[in-house]
């Protein structure tokens, strides 16, 4: 088990905030995790488990224990003519895993290429992009309960997945399950999912296979989204809000072009990016933080912003959207 004191989290948050943790603990295996979860000193502190830190906003130093998994490895645990089941360690890099599946001809997650993060978080967050959600390829999630110290295996339905949500994000469970492995079920005879946005346009004169779809997704993301290696950011700052039909229809009278996607007969989803752009925030900055000029759902650390600068800009956006459209944007990013 690796234990560090007064440890800089600069490399552990994609907003690139130079904050410190009083303690940083990285466990390498389940035995170490069990030890941690039976340690009295650990429970006397505040604690928070992180992945790659691609969805976190540190508002200052963390006076407690930041926990990180070091569990690696990809193991085949089942196979038939149509599917393969892979058990993957929580600390594996998400996009390396996507690349590995694509190289081997296993489909299902290629539309989720180039999303920063680690395997464990993919299962908590239900990462989604370009018409795909990881929930559709998750078979099991292996986790330890922080409350009981016991190992639990969650079948896919137990994870209660919905848009950017899971059992693990429910208020009573948040931060209280440490994922060790995720078992994914990938397809050997794969059907492609090319209807979102301009994926087909990118593939117009190309053969369609897992590799070309992955290349198209990477090209689209690179064009639209800032690279966290160059400019600190955490991808989408807010989730796309749901509107009931009554509310949506009253807005549509004033904004006939409001983009929307039906969720069911009673609810539509409206892109938060559009709401934010309508409020005039595209490209706007506050101290070192700024709204990305190509995708206003993304807030960037443009010039040595603090966590509070980023949070203040997010709050201004939230207030403006609330005043104009009577809807509360919910941050997708976790404030720590």
- Please name every residue paired with 187 in a beta bridge, in sequence order, or none if there are none: 83, 107
* CB of 222 or CB of 224, closer to ligand EPU: 224
Q: Which of 13, 240, 302, 306 binds ligand EPU (CB under 6 A)?
A: 240
CB-closest chain residue to ligand EPU: 235
Active site residue 38: no
Give alpha helix (H) positions in 205-268: 210-224, 245-254
Q: Are strands 128-129 and 62-69 parallel, antiparallel or unpaired?
A: unpaired
Options 72, 164, 221, 287, the catalytic residue: 164
* CB of 122 or CB of 236, closer to ligand EPU: 236
- Contact status: 334 vs ligand EPU (CB under 6 A): no
CB contact at 8 A, 319 and 31: no
In the structure encoding, which two tokens stand for residue 92, read together? 């594996």
Active site residue 332: yes
Site string for ligand EPU, 288-307 (x = CB under 6 A): -------xxx----------
- Contact status: 78 vs ligand EPU (CB under 6 A): no
- Contact status: 108 vs ligand EPU (CB under 6 A): no
- Please provide residue 256's backbone torsions phi and psi, each rounded to the nearest 5 degrees: -60, -25
In the structure encoding, which two tokens stand for residue 168, read together? 């693990």
Angle at CA of residue 325, ends 54 and 251, nearest 5°: 125
In the structure encoding, which two tokens stand for residue 274, read together? 């559009």
- Contact status: 239 vs ligand EPU (CB under 6 A): yes
Angle at CA of residue 169, ends 154 and 72, nearest 5°: 55
Site string for ligand EPU, 189-208 (x = CB under 6 A): -------xx-----------
Contacting positions for ligand EPU (CB under 6 A):
129-130, 196-197, 224-225, 235-236, 239-240, 259, 271, 273-274, 277, 295-297, 332
């Amino acid at each position: 088990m690796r234990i560090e004191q007064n440890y800089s989290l600069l490399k552990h948050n994609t907003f690139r905030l130079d904050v410190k943790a009083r303690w940083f603990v990285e466990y390498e295996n389940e035995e170490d995790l069990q030890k941690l979860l039976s340690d009295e000193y650990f429970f006397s502190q505040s604690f928070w488990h992180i992945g790659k830190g691609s969805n976190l906003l540190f508002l200052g130093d963390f006076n407690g224990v930041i926990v990180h998994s070091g569990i690696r490895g990809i193991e085949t645990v089942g196979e038939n003519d149509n599917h393969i089941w892979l058990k993957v360690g929580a600390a594996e890099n998400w996009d390396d895993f996507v690349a590995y599946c694509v190289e081997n001809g296993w489909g299902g997650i290629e539309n989720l290429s180039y999303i920063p993060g680690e395997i464990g978080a993919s299962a908590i967050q239900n990462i989604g992009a370009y018409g795909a959600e990881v929930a559709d390829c998750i078979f099991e999630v292996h986790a330890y309960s922080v409350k009981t110290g016991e190992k639990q295996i969650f079948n896919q339905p137990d994870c209660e997945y919905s848009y950017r949500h899971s059992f693990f994000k429910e208020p009573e469970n948040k931060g209280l399950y440490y994922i060790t492995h995720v078992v994914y079920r990938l397809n050997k005879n794969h059907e492609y999912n090319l209807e979102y946005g301009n994926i087909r346009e990118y593939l117009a004169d190309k053969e369609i296979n897992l590799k070309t779809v992955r290349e198209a997704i990477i090209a689209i993301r690179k064009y639209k989204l800032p690279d966290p290696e160059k400019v600190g950011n955490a991808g989408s700052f807010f989730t796309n809000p749901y509107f009931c039909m009554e509310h949506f229809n009253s807005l549509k009278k004033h904004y006939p072009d409001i983009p929307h996607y039906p969720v069911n007969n009673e609810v539509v989803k409206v892109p938060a990016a559009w709401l934010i752009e309508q409020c005039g925030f595209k490209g706007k900055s506050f101290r070192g933080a700024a709204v990305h000029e190509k995708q206003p759902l993304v807030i960037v650390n443009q010039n040595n912003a603090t966590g509070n600068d980023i949070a203040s800009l997010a709050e201004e956006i939230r207030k403006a959207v609330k005043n104009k459209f009577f809807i509360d944007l919910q941050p997708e990013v976790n404030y720590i």
